[in-house]
Amino acid sequence: MRVLFVAATEFEVSELKSKVKSQKSKQNNDGQGGQLPTDNCQLLITGVGMVATAYALGRELATNHYDLAINLGIAGSFDRNIALGEVVEVTTDTLAELGAEDDEKFLPIDEMGFGKGAFAASRSLSEVMDIRLKKCTAITVNTVHGCERSIAKLKQRMNVEIESMEGAAFFYACTEAKVACFQLRSVSNYVEKRNRDNWQIGLAVKNLNEVAIRLLDALAAQN
């Protein structure tokens, strides 16, 4: 199985990157088993945002074959029942800003007849390893929410739990390339008036990498 891990920044997957690099070095040196073969596990850093993600991932999938792609990153949560630092699995992700304004009403691209704005995972984490994470719906945005008025307006329009800047673009690119995919996000903050003092980015990154490394080990065991 060829697996592609995808993240917007190296910071979000620093421990996973070190683990992948260590495995490849060890295999090159002694060829020990229990690890994904060197050529079968790749990590792609796309850059932040849906445009960078769609371009980088589209280029990668056009020139290389993968059986599974996994998107990893941090996210903000609208749902305060999700603890800061908790890792969740995204089942559907929507390009929340793709559409048109009709006075006070927003028209999603689907209603306009110009395509679709919502995309879904085609695989599940539970198919790969014995772990159960909360499953969430997400939106992907160019501008993360930090204004009470815009947050309230979005909540009136959509019932959603988390937001990121890449997820739906990742799902879109994988869908177009017919590559199986799923997405994991670790909650670093609640979606509210911007307040960095309330953020838990370090905890979110730590927990995300712990799950990612367990996932890497599970994939290696199946190889």
So what's the pLDDT on residue 38? 60
On average, the pLDDT of the chain sits at 93
Whole-number pLDDT of residue 32: 53
Answer for the pair 76, 35: CB distance below 8 angstroms, yes or no.
no
Tokens 């815009």 — which residue? 150
* pLDDT, tens digit, 9 for 90 and up, residues 55-65: 999 999 999 99
Higher per-residue confidence, 152 vs 28: 152
Model confidence at 10: pLDDT above 90: yes
Give percent of the chain above pLDDT 70: 92
What are the CA-CA distances from residue 202 to residues 132, 205, 208 (Å)?
A: 22, 5, 10
Q: Which two tokens stand for residue 104?
A: 């006070």
φ/ψ (deg, to 5) at 200? -130, 60
Q: Decide if pLDDT at 30 tops 70.
A: no
Task: Assign 35 a pLDDT band (cuts: 50, 70, 90).
Answer: low
Mention every residue, 6+ apart, whose C-beta is less than 8 A from residue 214: 129, 131
**Is the confidence at residue 33, as pLDDT, over 80?**
no
Please write the tens of the pLDDT for every residue from 145-178. 999 999 999 999 999 999 999 999 999 999 999 9
pLDDT for position 137: 97
CB 187 within 8 A of CB 74: yes
